Structure 1
Amino acid sequence: MSSRFTDVSFLTDVVPEDQVETDPDALDAYAGDEGPHPARRPDAVVHAHGTDDVSAVLAACHDRDVPVTPRSGGSSIEGNPIPVAGGVVLDTYPMDDVDVRPADRLAVTGPGVVYDDLNDHLAPYELRFAPGIAAGNLATVGGMIANDASGLNAVKYGVTADHVRHLEVVLADGSIIEFGRSVAKSASGYRLKDVFVGSEGTLGVVTEATLALEPRPIERRAALATFPTREAAGDAVANVMAGPLTPGALEYLDSAAARLLDETNDAGLPDAPQLIVELHGTNDGVAADLDVVRDACEDAGCTGFETATEAEIDRLWAARRDVYPAACDYREDATVAFIGDVVVPVSRYPDHRRARRPARRRTRRHRALRRPRR
């Protein structure tokens, strides 16, 4: 876990001393993320309280060739906040200001704002930041932008990049620059903000983001459809997406994942391939949309179709979010070897479900679909 020591004594000349951590026990908390990748202890952690802190630290480290790894919530499972070269972890988690502009359907936030907290803040305005993610209670706006995160609602609302209007970014040498505009349409020059979304902190550190918001759905309806085979579930996905409506969320769970959740979380899921479908609307017409989804699933040979109450919807998604931690906790003597999403065009999803199983079966999570990137 330890790294080759780098002299970081200059940091207390750059930011207040109480914002710098060098105690090994404190550094260990910033050595890894939520994934299976090896941890690496940094030489120091700086807790940035604003753009000026970020700029000053990056400029000082740039002058001394000290590596810097940006970090916010640390909920990633891909290893990007791990300081593999030691040096400084730049913690932007304290930067959690939120300014809501309801008339423009925008929110201006710091990178340390937690996804669920942001939506709680937006609830009184009947707005929300839509790209729902599994780790919403941990993931931050800065991390979502760095990873171009998406999740349960991507099929209808897209990924993080679809909602980023404007960014304030600090480059490696401490320069502060801004990209984008706080409007939906702008044809004035290159869309440079899109270069930073998904760059995982390699190009600069986001210190402020202007995000486009969506109205909160007035009506939410959901159903759990079960199938005799995973191939039939794949056919149902294609049927639903070829129809006249777009679900708010559409997720696939295989029977192995369902059994795992039943054993570890008492989730009460059927032991079968299944789809969780959620529909959003602004009136009672969303109930009729459920009949359209039911017909699409029955055409694929579904063996069960149960609608869910509001409380049951939350229970279903809570179970879905627990697949990864349940897999990690299932066997204390085992580690998760690989984590990843399989992304294919919707029309090819049935082919993907028909693909030959690997010789060694694993419990894996599959996102049924993701809207094509613009």
Structure 2
Amino acid sequence: MDLIGALRAGLPADALLTDPDVTGSYARDMANFCAAGKPAVVVLPRTVEQVQHVMRTATALGVPVVPQGARTGVAGAANATDGCIVLSLVKMDRILEINPADRLAVVEPGVVNAVLSRAVNEHGLYYPPDPSSWEMCTIGGNIGTAAGGLCCVKYGVTAEYVLGLDVVLADGRLLTTGRRTAKGVAGYDLTRLFVGSEGSLGVVVRATLALKPEPPRQLALVAEFPSVGAAGQAVCEIMARGHAPSLLELMDRTSVRAVNDLAQMGLPESTEVLLLAAFDTPDPAPDLAAVGALCEDAGATQVVPAEDAAESELLLQARRLAFTALERLRPAMLIDDVCVPRSQLAAMLEGTTAIADKYGLTIGVCAHAGDGNTHPLVCFDPADPDEERRAHTSFDEIMALGLSLGGTITGEHGVGLLKKDWLARELGPVALELHRNIKQVFDPRGILNPGKLF
């Protein structure tokens, strides 16, 4: 049976892309250094039934399927394999329901995070997960990678907001998991199993998401530190004293300078570390004053509160620009995503600096300091073979450092292709075997996103 002909039998003409120049543009996510194959076809379904048709066809013909969202991921999880069907869910972009009484939203996977956030704000509600790419990334992609964001220190990650899912399985059957209720413990938690599975177990076609009441606009402060050790001590003290900041973010000197070069934001370049803290309580002033005092006690050279919400938003924007700014330093960048216990944050940052010095590389670090999630960004020139080798070696040493400190190889970006070898090291043989057994149950022919994770 011809693949394209079989797909056309159940899809509208505009849902199929077969021009090699066009399909090639869907071959990879933002991890340009990860291998990507040539897809046989790109399908852009608009309905659940169309997704089911694609999966039934793929199962019948034994053709691999790579589900995709907006392709803003940085681990190669959405990269095509040779001869695959790329199943792009971006056209399934409807917000189906916003329910203020039940505090939930029902959405299709192609809904952009920022679009959902603004829509629920109109009802006085709040969808907290806010990845740095929130203006582009989709809810389906956020679910696939278990995405986090800047607000995680107070509000948690995507997994904590997914109440239920509709998932098309490899053979085309439609599975409904989870619930719409505030509580529910009936059976195994299949919903959580799909969150973070990177499209390897099924294709999410609908999600029921929990919402929060919209908080007041946050007010922030910025603290300058002469060392990562002092900043790490401040983070530990802030959390140990029971404070609940709405964000607690860190930028090293390399990141600060890069952001200034990109956006002329006037951030202080003489400091080693900037720490951003914010509160969204009705009266944030006492919390900010207490946190400011803790920062000074830990060795901060200067603590500057924002004057208003607009200035706070400017500081937040500076943090969001860090990835983009560091990308401009060299032609390529390896984005690490190591999360460690907060008590080990300073050791992680100091170790990363030592690795950068050891290999003569520029490695900027920004971090969700409140939850220990560091993002060392290894900048290099792939046209220089020796520099590329040093970059990859340093990347591996950073991950090894994180594991040695009791951390994990990925806090929110996922495994994809980039970290699959390291996943095996973190999990160990028993857990890896169970992962493979679970994959076999959901996808016995191994057609869903093959080669990713493990």
* Contact 2:247-2:370 at 8 Å conserved across structures: no
Matches of 2:199 and 2:350, distance apart in 1: 37
SS at match of 2:286: helix
TM-score (norm 1): 0.93
Q: Shift in Å at residue 222 of structure 1?
A: 0.3
Q: Which moved more, 1:290-299 or 1:195-204?
A: 290-299
**What amino acid sits opposite 2:367 in the alignment?**
H
Q: Shift in Å at residue 298 of structure 1?
A: 1.0
Q: Shift in Å at residue 325 of structure 1?
A: 1.9
Give the counterpart of 2:18 among 22, 37, 41: 22
Q: How do 1:202-351 and structure 2 match up within 5 A?
A: 202-271=200-269, 272=271, 273-281=273-281, 283-284=282-283, 286-308=284-306, 309-331=308-330, 334-336=331-333, 338-351=334-347
Q: Give the structure with the larger helix fraction.
A: 2
Give the counterpart of 1:155 among 153, 156, 159: 153
Q: Shift in Å at residue 306 of structure 1?
A: 1.0
2:369 corresponds to: 368
SS at match of 1:167: strand
Give the counterpart of 1:118 among 113, 116, 119: 116
Matches of 1:318 and 1:351, distance apart in 2: 27
Give the counterpart of 1:185 among 169, 183, 186: 183
**What amino acid sits opposite 2:266 in the alignment?**
G
TM-score (norm 2): 0.77
SS at match of 1:208: strand
- What is the CA deviation profile of residues 153-209 of structure 1, one whole-angstrom value per residue up to 9, with x for unaligned ones? 111111100011010001111010111111222121111111100000000000000
Q: Shift in Å at residue 86 of structure 1?
A: 3.2
Matches of 2:4 and 2:370, distance apart in 1: 45
Q: Which runs of 5+ in 1 are unaligned?
A: 1-5
* Contact 2:169-2:203 at 8 Å conserved across structures: yes
* Contact 1:158-1:370 at 8 Å conserved across structures: no
Matches of 1:365 and 1:245, distance apart in 2: 21
* Contact 1:155-1:371 at 8 Å conserved across structures: no
Q: 1:269 to 1:114 in 2, by over 3 A?
A: same
Q: Which runs of 5+ in 2 are unaligned?
A: 374-410, 412-454
Q: Shift in Å at residue 7 of structure 1?
A: 4.5
Give the counterpart of 2:106 among 84, 94, 108: 108
Give the counterpart of 1:47 among 41, 44, 56: 44
Q: 1:247 to 1:134 in 2, by over 3 A?
A: same
* Contact 1:70-1:205 at 8 Å conserved across structures: yes
Matches of 2:345 and 2:108, distance apart in 1: 37
SS at match of 1:251: strand
SS at match of 1:365: strand
* Contact 2:340-2:372 at 8 Å conserved across structures: no
Matches of 2:120 and 2:21, distance apart in 1: 37
Give the counterpart of 2:30 among 29, 34, 37: 34
Q: Which moved more, 1:34-43 or 1:302-311?
A: 34-43
- What is the CA deviation profile of residues 247-277 of structure 1, one whole-angstrom value per residue up to 9, with x for unaligned ones? 1011110011111111222121112211111
* Contact 2:345-2:372 at 8 Å conserved across structures: no
**What amino acid sits opposite 2:49 in the alignment?**
D
Matches of 2:39 and 2:328, distance apart in 1: 27
- What is the CA deviation profile of residues 317-356 of structure 1, one whole-angstrom value per residue up to 9, with x for unaligned ones? 222122222222233xx311x2122211122223333436
* Contact 2:223-2:295 at 8 Å conserved across structures: yes
Give the counterpart of 2:142 among 122, 144, 149: 144
**What amino acid sits opposite 1:323 in the alignment?**
A
- What is the CA deviation profile of residues 213-244 of structure 1, one whole-angstrom value per residue up to 9, with x for unaligned ones? 11221141101111011111111110111113
- What is the CA deviation profile of residues 111-167 of structure 1, one whole-angstrom value per residue up to 9, with x for unaligned ones? 000000001111111111101110001111100000000010111111100011010
Matches of 1:118 and 1:84, distance apart in 2: 31
Q: Shift in Å at residue 371 of structure 1?
A: 8.2
SS at match of 2:150: coil
2:125 corresponds to: 127
* Contact 1:14-1:60 at 8 Å conserved across structures: no
Matches of 1:365 and 1:60, distance apart in 2: 44
* Contact 2:218-2:309 at 8 Å conserved across structures: yes
Q: Which moved more, 1:106-115 or 1:12-21?
A: 12-21
SS at match of 1:45: strand
SS at match of 1:330: coil
SS at match of 2:368: coil
1:3 corresponds to: none
Matches of 2:311 and 2:342, distance apart in 1: 27
* Contact 1:343-1:367 at 8 Å conserved across structures: no
Matches of 1:346 and 1:126, distance apart in 2: 33
SS at match of 2:218: strand
* Contact 1:226-1:274 at 8 Å conserved across structures: yes
Q: Which moved more, 1:181-190 or 1:221-230?
A: 181-190
2:87 corresponds to: 90
* Count of residues in correspondence between the two structures: 363
SS at match of 1:136: coil
